[in-house]
Amino acid sequence: MNYVALKMLFGDRAKYLMLLAGLTFSTMLIVQQGSIFWGLMLWSQSGITNINVPIWVTDPNINQVEEVKPLADTAVTVVRSVPGVEWAMPLYKGLQRAKLEDGNYQQISLVGLDAATLIGRPGVTLEGRIEELRDPDAVALDQWAVDRLGGPERMKIGTVFEINDHRARVVAIVQTQKSFQNVPFVYTTYKRALRYTPPERRKLSYVLVKPKDGIPAEALARRIAQETGLGAYTADEFGWKTIRWVLKNTGIGVNFGTTVFLGFVVGMAIAGQTFYLFTVENLKQFGALKAIGASTGMLARMILLQSFTVGLIGYGVGIGLATAFGLTAGRGGNLPYAETWPLLVGVLIALLGICAFSSAISIRKLAKLEPGIVFR
Amino acid sequence: MTTQPSEIPEPPASAPLVHARGIVKSFRVDHTRIPVLKGVDLDVAAGEVLLLVGPSGSGKTTLLSVIAGILDADEGTLTVLDRDLFSMTEDEKTAFRREAMGFVFQQFNLLPTLTATENVAVPLLIRGLKKEAAFARAIEVLKTLGMGGRLTSTPSHLSGGEQQRVAIARALVTEPRLLLCDEPTANLDAETGHRVVEALCRVGKRPDRAMIIVTHDTRIFEFGDRLVHMDDGRIREVQHMNEEELR
């Protein structure tokens, strides 16, 4: 009877398209909003992912990566003394002002790396050589800084500008993930970063750590925290800590959650109502099927097949449209858009839930249907 | 083709296919019970075409529904093909209808998105037959009813008479032992109705099969072997039809 069920579904073109449109819209809305939400969450921890080290050591009361609470310079040595530490390097991170050629100022996120190792440097260098950061006044800009500071015509290898009235010369352009605050990254050495910044008693933002081979990052982080009294987190833990802070302190979670919920409700309402109408309008036909020997179980299987078929088609089309949106609008990393498999699985489960709900109200109607309806 | 059910026992040659005694049925409307069948006794023999006639509200369709196992009677006994219908569960009755009965409805009740062939194949698909085999058998039956040229037409592209022929083909495709027809000509003009019932009897009448037709249409009385007049929930008169009487 699968054939009959599918012919009934596809044959009633208007209802089928209505149903498909509802489920497609619902899928697209949930996937698109969910992907933008997760993209924003990834941006919120870009300060961590761009540096790409296993363990971050910082003030124990820190809430998130952009909230720097400076440490004493001795923290590096203290951390290096903890058993299991392969290396520990200082990192400066802070918001500074760059003065443009036209006299305007632009806020930048200045990152100071250990000069000897350049640990924490971005993985992709688009132009120039990042190793030249060791040269006098050298800085590396990320692709967003190039745009913000005047565009590729003005900001290129060899361009000179000022950071807090200190000379800075571009030696490399690197690729990074955009930050949540949309502030571009400018890289330099740790010592030069301290020179660029106003005098403070403490300037060390983070100590970056790698565990020795065979020592789990989680275990070493716990040990560093225990032995030094500092806050120590794996990159993953620090990323989630940052995400939790963003969710707690901004309206993003509620905002996107509401939209996703509305997508779910709209999908459920349209699919449920259309499917119910489809059943009600075919009640006599279903009654005839019952009269000629189709069991309620068989009719229920037909309904489920119809519902899940249109659901899966709507899922496919919806994801296709959302992906096309992501590829178009999010091209070049300009839009926070991260379509992940857990999201797609989650949406699939939600959609199957919508289909199950739609089927259930129709099956309930059919279960109560007396085949005697055909004699009236 | 093995559409003849294997689990339906062959009744003894002399036994009627339908044996109903003292059938009582009432419906509750608000807080009042309205009696519809008031003790109906009826036997239908193999090979017989029985016409149930009578005014509206006389209980014809209710009796048909009870015989079909679609409605439960309040009192009485009923055996169909030697099976006690009142002792069956709903699932057993559904399976029994699937295996032993065919139905022709007043309003055809064809699935609007299926072609004539597909509609006729539905009872076979319900029985679990493969699509190809079901379609082949459906085409065979449709051709015997003169519908060979409309195999791929959907109901909306068929006339009333053609739709009823498709419905008849659907009822006959499983070669049921008992064919139940509810006002099969009610939605057809006189000439079409006559032709449809003629086709129904030509193809459907068999020595081992009984046919019960509920009708108001006096022009199809000639096709019946017996005319059962119902009124006020009771059988008032039974008329054996033969050529002499028809004259």
Residue A157's closest CA among A170, A144, A148, A146? A170
Name which of A285, A293, A370 is nearest B98 (Cβ-Cβ). Answer: A293
Q: What is the pLDDT of residue B151?
A: 94
Q: What is the pLDDT of residue B14?
A: 59
Indicate whether B238 pLDDT > 80. Answer: yes
Indicate whether B33 pLDDT > 80. Answer: yes
Residue B198's closest CA among B245, B158, B161? B161
In chain A, the residue whose alpha carbon lies closest to the alpha carbon of B123 is A292
| pLDDT by 10-residue block (mean), chain A, 376 residues | 89 87 89 90 88 91 86 92 94 90 86 92 91 93 88 88 91 89 90 89 91 94 94 93 90 87 82 80 82 88 90 93 88 81 90 85 82 69
Residue A48 lies in a domain: no
The answer on A198 and A110 residing in a single domain is: yes
Per cent of chain B over pLDDT 90 is 37
Residue A296 lies in a domain: yes
Indicate whether B131 pLDDT > 50. Answer: yes
Residue A245 lies in a domain: no
Residue B13 lies in a domain: no
Residue B54 lies in a domain: yes
The answer on A25 and A90 residing in a single domain is: no
The answer on A255 and A158 residing in a single domain is: no
The answer on A131 and A19 residing in a single domain is: no
Chain A partners of B64 at a C-beta cutoff of 8 Å? 375
The full length of chain B comes to 247
Predicted-complex ipTM score: 0.81
Residue B9 lies in a domain: no
Question: CB distance A3–B131 less than 8 Å?
Answer: yes
The answer on A222 and A259 residing in a single domain is: no
Indicate whether B246 pLDDT > 80. Answer: no
Indicate whether B4 pLDDT > 50. Answer: no
| Residues on A contacting B at a C-beta cutoff of 8 Å | 1, 3-4, 7-8, 10-12, 282, 284-285, 287-295, 298, 370-372, 374-375
Domain count, chain B: 1
Range B22-38 average pLDDT:
88
C-alpha distances in Å from residue B28, one per residue of A25, A376, B32, B35, B217: 47, 17, 6, 9, 30
Task: Give φ, ψ of B66 to 5 degrees.
Answer: -65, -45
The answer on A320 and A262 residing in a single domain is: yes
- Spacing of C-alpha A318 from chain mean position: 19
> Of A169, A197, A229, at which residue does a domain stop?
A229
What's the CA gap between A376 and A37, in Å, rounded? 55
- Spacing of C-alpha B83 from chain mean position: 18
Indicate whether B2 pLDDT > 60. Answer: no
Q: What is the pLDDT of residue A376?
A: 64
Q: What is the pLDDT of residue A191?
A: 92
Domain span at residue B221?
18-246
Range B233-247 average pLDDT:
72
Domain span at residue A37?
2-43+251-375
Residue A31 lies in a domain: yes
Give the pLDDT band of residue B3 (cuts 50, 70, 90). very low
Q: What is the pLDDT of residue A178?
A: 84
What's the CA gap between B58 and B37, in Å, rounded? 8
Range B41-48 average pLDDT:
90
Name which of B111, B126, B154 is nearest A285 (Cβ-Cβ). Answer: B111
- Tens-digit pLDDT profile for residues B182-234: 888 887 787 778 878 887 887 778 888 899 999 888 888 888 899 999 999 99
Residue A57 lies in a domain: no
Residue A63 lies in a domain: no
- Spacing of C-alpha A13 from chain mean position: 38
Indicate whether B11 pLDDT > 50. Answer: no
What's the CA gap between B148 and B14, in Å, rounded? 38
The answer on A119 and A218 residing in a single domain is: yes
The domain that contains B150 carries what CATH number? 3.40.50.300
The answer on A350 and A279 residing in a single domain is: yes
In chain B, the residue whose alpha carbon lies closest to the alpha carbon of A288 is B109
Q: What is the pLDDT of residue A200?
A: 82
The answer on A370 and A286 residing in a single domain is: yes
Domain count, chain A: 2
CB B153 within 8 A of CB B132: no
